[in-house]
Copies of this chain bind each other. A is one copy, B any other.
Amino acid sequence: MIRHVVMFTWSDTADAERRARSVQALRRLPDDVGGMTALTVGEDAGLSDGNADAVLIVDFPDVEAYRRYAQDPVHQAMIAEHIRPFLAARSAVQFEV
By a beta-carbon cutoff of 8 Å, the part of chain A in contact with chain B is 2-3, 5, 7, 9, 40, 42-45, 47-48, 50-55, 57, 63, 66-67, 70, 89, 91-97
What is the interface of chain A mostly: helix, strand, loop, or mixed?
Answer: strand
Chain B residues whose CB sits within 8 angstroms of the CB of A89 once the complex forms: 91
**In the complex, what residues of B have CB within 8 A of residue A42's CB?**
3, 5, 93, 95-97
Best-buried of A2, A40, A91, A97 by chain B (most CB within 10 Å)? A91
> In the complex the two chains form, what is the Cα distance from A96 to B40 in whole Å?
11
Top 6 nearest A-B pairs (CB, nearest first) are A42-B95, A55-B93, A52-B91, A44-B93, A47-B94, A7-B91
